Structure 1
Amino acid sequence: MAPENVNIISWWEEQSFPGKDLFKLDEDGTVTLTPTALVKEREIAVVTIDNAETVLKNLQEKFEEMQSRVREAEIEWMAATDKSKMADKIEQLKGLINSTVAIGDFEKAAQLVNDWESSIKKASDENVAAKKALAELAESLADSTEYKETSQAFKDITEKWRLSGFLDKSRNDMLWKRIENARKKFQDRKRDFHDEEEKDLLVTLDLKIEIAELAESLQNSEEWKSATEAYHELTERWKSTGRTIHKRNEELWQRIMTAKNIFFDRKKAHFAQIQVEQEANLIIKLELAEKAEALANSTDWSATATAMGALKEQWRNTGRVPHEKADELNKRFNDSVETFFDARRKHTEAIRVTQEQNYALKSELLQRAEEIKDSNRWGETTVEMNRLFDEWKTIGPVPREHNTTIWDAFMGARKHFFQRKDADRDQRKQQFDAQKAAREEQDIAYKKEREAQEIASRKTRIEQAHKTIEAAHTEIKEEEEKLADFKNAIENITPGKKAEELRTHLAALIEESTKHLDRLKKKVVTVTEDMNKIIEKEQQKEKEEANAEQAAS
């Protein structure tokens, strides 16, 4: 063994530092980190008697740099409420510990990181078990016939899922898909059940309404014999018709009995209509039928509905026409009225269909945003996120019941990505600054980073407030239009047996719409006040910073 090496070995034996038992010095001056269960073996340096002190000091300083990264992570670990979210950072620290060329107590640092990793795995296993139990519960409810209770159970499952802990995206999406599939299966069965039940009741209701209308249409008949036979036939048809909504059943039966009594009272006191009056009525109704035919294909829905209502009112107020002309004339007039109102109903349904299509398109954009929100390919994902947002703005409105939910979910995915991107950029900047600056400079950089995050947070809250106000104004406009339609409808109710019922229904709708409109306006005021407070704080902060800069200069 050369004298120089003998001196190196002696020098090494005299050294004392934390973790020395993890290293060995070979005869050729090679310092090696020996492997343990947590630390990988690797060559650290080759030293000579001339550079040994300098190399050891440099390697210890490098270890201290790595150790500071571990201490920072330890502080973040202690503050984290959901430690599962630190999985990526823990994995990076493991790589750092097993790649750093330095001298120090690697085993202690590795053991600390290993303990964190074990805790994360335990929490992840618990989260998997909890979410799997929710998925199994959802699947067990898919075939339930207790529709009301099961609907609430699915809402409870969704809330428990929201409150459950963090889980990696792959397993999280797989378990959530099981819940969604079970929910869809249940909702499809529930919808089919209610559709069939309501369909049966409505079919019977239509039949009984038809009987009531036929009875009412006969109450002024001059065909005494045939009308008498018709009333007997309608009574038998009523008896053979199935059940319907109880309240409507009583109402319709009363209508039939009223019409029947009117007819038989008139039969006893029969008098002839004056032919001249019938001919005059014929001229009036011919004019009304022509006006109705001229409006039948109009698409000015509100104005035409009012005009049609006025024509129907005049029609009802006009007396009988010659018997041989009545059916043909009634058909002309009623066909025109039904043509218009059928077209208006289809127009309304088309709007709903378009909104459902928009909902499907936005759901696809949301799904894609969810798929890429955890991507680390910052550049191309930023481009795609902005493209998704631009495409979202080109799509029209969705059904009101989905509008807020799908928007919040989409913006949540978008903000999640950009927050991760910002965090990644900030982390890389912090690491770069940490390598070039002293610990005092690191503290200053950390403080500035915190201030930047607070500013970004305030700006985000302002943006969210603007969007909330904008959405509320849109909903206010829609609600005001709907309220105007209700008021217009109640002002133009056609007198008749259903007038009071329709007036009561419209009054209830107006009251509900007015209350909802007030809530929306109060919401706008509240959000605006909160936003102005944030802006005032921001302006005050900027003013203080400007004064500080001026004072410093």
Structure 2
Amino acid sequence: MSADKQSSPPDSPWGRVTEDGTVFVRTTDGERSVGQYPEGSPEEALKFFTDRYDALAFEVHLLEQRIGAGKLSPEEATSTVKALREQVVEANAVGDLTALAARLDATAPLIAIQRDARRAEKAQRSAESRAEKDKIVAEAEKLAEGNDWRNGANRLRDLLDQWKALPRLDRSTDDTLWRRFSSARTTYTRRRKAHFAEEHERRDGARVIKERLATEAEALATSTEWGPTAGRYRDLMREWKAAGPAPRDVDDQLWQRFRGAQDTFFGNRDAANAELDKEFAVNAEVKEALLVEAEALLPVTDLEAAKRAFRDIADKWDAAGKVPRDRMKDLEGRIRKVEQAIRSVEDDQWRKSDPEKSARADDMVSKLEAGIADAQAKLDKAQASGDARRIKDLEADLANKQAFLDMARRASAEFGG
């Protein structure tokens, strides 16, 4: 060993080097050896171990920053602090190891605060997750009771994705809600399958019915019994609508067959009617001329002459035959208007000449005249006696009877009385 090492070994507040190169660190518990550095000078030996301390101090500084920034979970921070503190306490380094350990201990309150914050945040997330899962379960159960077969399955898949994205709750609560959700999905799926199975069965039944209806419609397509066949087609259409939809791959084909047969029949009927309309056009011209004669009878001045002339016109009208369908309503309406006008005049004359009504009117006049005479006699008697109240009542009664008599005389005059 050199003379320098023997004469002046270096010293510091936190450690020292002995003549044989042994390095000690000073702590609150006293000194302890941290190692030897025989191949170098005492200064180099002390620096070697103080550099170790500086490296540990840098690790502590980095850990303090990470904890302060919240980059570690409370659990990770606690375990890291514990491991690093053990390294510091047992470190073969020279420096204020006690202060370094105290700095690590000083992180405990901050970690505790972060742990409480994490717990509160977790509780908040849990509460929000519970609320969302409750909503998901409620909607799933509502879908399970409904009949939205088109959109329900897609919506349940969306709800499942939402469920998976939410944080888990405590095991008991999460399992209970999941069982409800899963049960709702199962119920919906089972009911949906049953619905489509029934619908498939109904569609197969509708296919059989529509095949029969299409076959019958095709058999009627060439019929020339226009009235009965048109009625039968209406019946077939009602049966077609009542049958409901057949499977999609055949429903349109069957409809094309059915509608094609209908179109063929009604096209043939329209063509036949068009030919008839051409033949009936001449009849319409005849009836137009007859209408000129008939409408010339109005207004009626001689009832009997008008009736005779109209009977002759009516015979010619019937003999003229059918007219085109688009002219029928107009022509029939005009001839009926003339007929009703003549009948109205006839009815009016009959009412005026009705013997029974005339006799009743005359009888009413006679009775009212007798009643007036009697009322007048009573009034004269009351006036003679000076009974003012009696006079007033009798005058009112007499006035009423006189009014009725006037009406009865007018009615009797209408009947020729």
Coarse TM-score class (shorter-chain normalised): 0.3 to 0.5
TM-score (norm 2): 0.35
> Which structure has the larger Rg over C-alpha atoms?
2
